[in-house]
Amino acid sequence: MDPAPLLPRPRLSQSVLLFLWALLNCVLGLSAQGPGEWTPWVSWTRCSSSCGRGVSVRSRRCLRLPGEEPCWGDSHEYRLCQLPDCPPGAVPFRDLQCALYNGRRVLGTQKTYQWVPFYGAPSQCDLNCLAEGHTFYHSFGRVLDGTACSPGAQGICVAGRCLSAGCDGLLGSGALEDRCGRCGGANDSCLFVQRVFRDAGAFAGYWNVTLIPEGARHIRVAHRSRNHLALMGGDGRYVLNGDWAFSPPGTYEAAGTHVVYTRDPGPEETLRAAGPTSDDLLLQVLLQEPNPGIEFEFWLPRERYSPFQARAQALGWPLRQPQPREVEPQPPAAPAVSPAQTPPLAPDPCPPCPDTRGRAHRLLHYCASDFAFQARVLGRHRQAQETRYEVRIQLVYKNRTPLRAHEYVWAPGRCPCPMLAPHQDYLLAVQRLVSPDGTQDRLLLPHAGYARPWSPAEDSRIRLTARRCPV
C-alpha cells in the first residue's frame, strides 16, 4: 500500500499573523510598546509636470498594534523631477490654474472675470489670482503640488508649503553637500589644505605660489599688498593678471569653474571658486613690493593629496620674466649665530596644561557653553592677569545671542590653558560673562576649556555632540 502523499502546510499571510497577534494581546490584556512599523514605500508617481520642473511623490502606511505609538518619520516623500524645458510660449503652470476660473461666477455675483496670477499676497503657495482690469485679487485655495513658489525661484509648493530640494533631490530634506561634494557627508573623504606663502622674492616678476590641482573645491586666496595675484590654466595661458597686464575685478571661467576675482582699494585682493576644478591651475603672484604673505586654502580628495604634495614641491623655482624689475630692499637679516655661541634655551615660564582630550570633556564644555564656533586667531595680547584673543568668526555651531564677525575672547591668566596660536583655526566653546554693573560683556574661554584645532574630524565630532546635550 503506497503511503499517502504529504500535503503542503498552509502558510499564513502577514496580515493574518498581525490579526492573530492583535487578538492575543486583547485576550491577555497586554499592551504593545514602542512605535508601529512602516510598510515599504510604494513607487514614485509620475512627475506633476509634462515639462520643466515638477514634483513626484511616494507614500507608505503605518501598521500599529493596539497600544503602539505612531510610526516615526513621514508618510510621504516628495522629490524634484526635472524634465526638458518647456517650449517657448508655453503657459506657466500657475497661469493655467488661474485660467480655470475664467468666465465662472466665483464671488457670489453674476459678474465673471479673467484671472491672472498675483504674486503680492502673503502666502506663495495659495492660488492668488488678480482680476484683469480690476484692483482686487482672490485666493482660490492652495496651488497644485509642483507649482513654483514664485517666478524664477528654486522653491516648489508641496501641500501648501514652499520647499527647496536638498542635494538628495528630496524636497524639504535639508540635505547639504559637505566640503568634499558628498551629499550628507561629514567632510571625511577629502583633506583641507591651508597655508601661507611668505616667500619675499628677490626681484619683481611672477613667482609661483601653489598648484591648485584638479578636483579642488572651495578655493580661497587672499592678501593685502600692491602685488597682484595671477592665475594660469593647465594649458599655460593666463586666466587673469598675466603678461604684466592687470585684469579688472569680475568672474572668470577657468578649469570648469567660475573664479570670482576682487580687488579693493585697501588694497585687499581675493580669489574664490566653488569648484571642483576639472584641470590644474597654477597660482602666482606678480611681485611689486615685498610679499607680506598670501593665504590660500582649498579642499582636496584624499587620493589626490599625495600627488599634489609631490608636484607642489617641484614648483619651488620662480617663473622669471625677460626684464626683471627691482624690489624694494628688505631689512637685513640678523647675523647667524654659530653653534658654539648659541645661548641656552630659557625654560618655558608656563606650566604644562591639563589633559583636555576625550568625548566627555567635549560634551561637558559644549553643553555648558553659551557659544560654540569655529574661529581664526588673529592676535594674542596679555593684559594684567588675563589673555585676550582677537578672533574672526568663521562658522557658528551654537549661539545664545548674535555674534559679530570679529570678536574678543578672554582667557584667565597670562598662561591660559590651552594656549591658542595666532593664525590658526580653532573650535571654541565659550561662555558669556557680564559684570554686575553691566560695564563689561565678554566671551570667556574657561581654564582647561574646549579649544581644539579645527579639522574635518573634529568638526564632525562637535556636530554629533550638539545632538547629545540635554534639553
CB of 287 within 8 A of CB of 223?
A: no
Q: Are strands 281-287 and 451-453 parallel, antiparallel or unpaired?
A: unpaired
Q: What type of residue is 94?
A: R
Helix (H) or strand (E) holding 135: none
In the prediction, which pLDDT does 247 show? 92
Q: What type of residue is 22?
A: A
In the prediction, which pLDDT does 309 show? 82
CB of 216 within 8 A of CB of 231?
A: no
Phi and psi, residue 194, nearest 5°: -145, 120
In the prediction, which pLDDT does 23 show? 53
In the prediction, which pLDDT does 42 show? 93
Locate the DSSP E strands across 120-183: 126-131, 137-142, 156-158, 161-163
In the prediction, which pLDDT does 320 show? 32
Give me the count of residues in the chain. 471
In the prediction, which pLDDT does 469 show? 80
Look up residue 375 and give its three cell numbers.
574661529
Q: Which domains does the chain have, with CATH numbers?
A: 42-176 (no CATH), 190-315 (2.60.120.830), 359-467 (2.40.50.120)
Question: How do the pLDDT tens digits run along the chain, 471 residues long?
Answer: 454 444 444 554 544 544 554 555 544 444 445 678 889 999 999 998 888 888 999 999 999 888 788 888 889 999 998 888 889 888 889 999 999 999 888 877 778 899 999 998 888 999 999 999 888 999 999 999 999 998 877 889 998 899 988 888 888 888 888 888 888 888 888 899 988 888 766 667 888 888 999 999 999 999 999 899 999 998 888 999 988 889 999 999 999 999 999 998 878 899 999 989 999 999 999 988 888 899 999 999 989 888 888 877 665 433 333 323 333 333 434 433 333 343 333 344 577 788 777 788 888 889 889 999 999 999 888 877 888 899 999 988 988 778 888 888 989 887 888 889 888 999 999 998 887 766 678 899 998 899 999 988 888 888 888 888 876
Tell me which residue of 116, 117, 51, 119 sits closest to 81, measured CA to CA. Answer: 51
Helix (H) or strand (E) holding 377: strand 371-383
Model pTM score: 0.51
Burial of 141 per CB tally in 10 Å (0-12, 13-18, 19+):
exposed
Whether residue 3 is preceded by a cis peptide bond, meaning omega within 30 degrees of 0, is: no
β partners of residue 391: 377, 407
